[in-house]
Amino acid sequence: MPIRLSDMNVPRHIAIIMDGNGRWAQNRRLPKIMGHKAGVKTVEVITEACARKGIEALTLYSFSTENWKRPREEVGSLMSLFEKSMADKWRKIHDNNIRFNVIGRVHELSSALQKEIDRLKDLTRDNTGMVLSLAINYGGRQEIIDGVRAALTEIRNGELDEVSLNEELFSEYLYTRGLPDPDFVIRTSGEMRLSNFLLWQTAYSEIYVTDVLWPDFGIKDLDEALEEFGQRERRFGG
């Protein structure tokens, strides 16, 4: 008998490694930026679907610290696409009661993009629905280093007793402070790795990999992933 989504244990926090935009474009003999644009449309569809399903938090791996190694033209096009998407989609995000967030080394982004990020965060600050976090200029190892530096600063200033520092407290020094750890990580395009994504937070996350390229990932694919999540038994080492 098929499992109905309403009968399943729904994850509180879904994290998605959105992979396959370039291959999607290559398969259609299109410029790579067209794959990224198609990927933005998928972001919109999946974000709204997760919000409707009662997911508390959705984190999307949008641009890693390693992605700066890509050709300058592609990086520039991606940054422009981030900026334009935030400017164009703010109303839909706000109307869906979604709270917008960005994690990563935001201070290294362009001033124009930082301005759009701050504007959308301020606009949705009081929304009470799902938290949508875009990981931009994000790296899991870099996040841990930044967290250690922040904790050490407070220890040196006498604001933190190092003896009291434990896993729960250290989580408050990470970019994802205030969010539950991801229950479920989805990776599209078939690659079997985390790619420096939420390394601390995914210690006990369930991982699901699909061969579907991100621009082709639809609500049906999301439902299939959630059905599998609902069938897994999470033991947390017990």
pTM: 0.93
| Annotation says 101 is catalytic | no
Closest CA to 20 of 177, 225, 193, 191: 191
pLDDT recorded at residue 7: 47
Domain count, the chain: 1
pLDDT at 81: 96
Q: Is 199 helix (H, G, I), strand (E, B) or coil?
A: coil
pLDDT at 6: 44
Residue 167 lies in a domain: no
pLDDT at 234: 77
CATH number of the domain encompassing residue 61: 3.40.1180.10
Task: Tell me whether residue 191 is in a domain.
Answer: yes
User: Among this protein's residues, is 211 annotated catalytic?
Assistant: no
Mean pLDDT for all residues in the chain: 94
Residue 114 backbone dihedrals phi, psi, to 5 degrees: -60, -35
d(CA 164, CA 169): 8
Note the pLDDT of residue 212.
Answer: 98
Among residues 19, 21, 101, 183, which one is catalytic?
A: 19
**Would residue 161 count as lying in a domain?**
no
Range of the domain at 70: 10-138+181-229
198 within domain boundaries: yes
> Pick the catalytic residue: 7, 9, 27, 67?
67
Q: Does residue 129 lie within any of the structural domains? A: yes
Placement of tokens 């606009």 in the chain: 123
For the chain, list residues with pLDDT below 50.
1-7
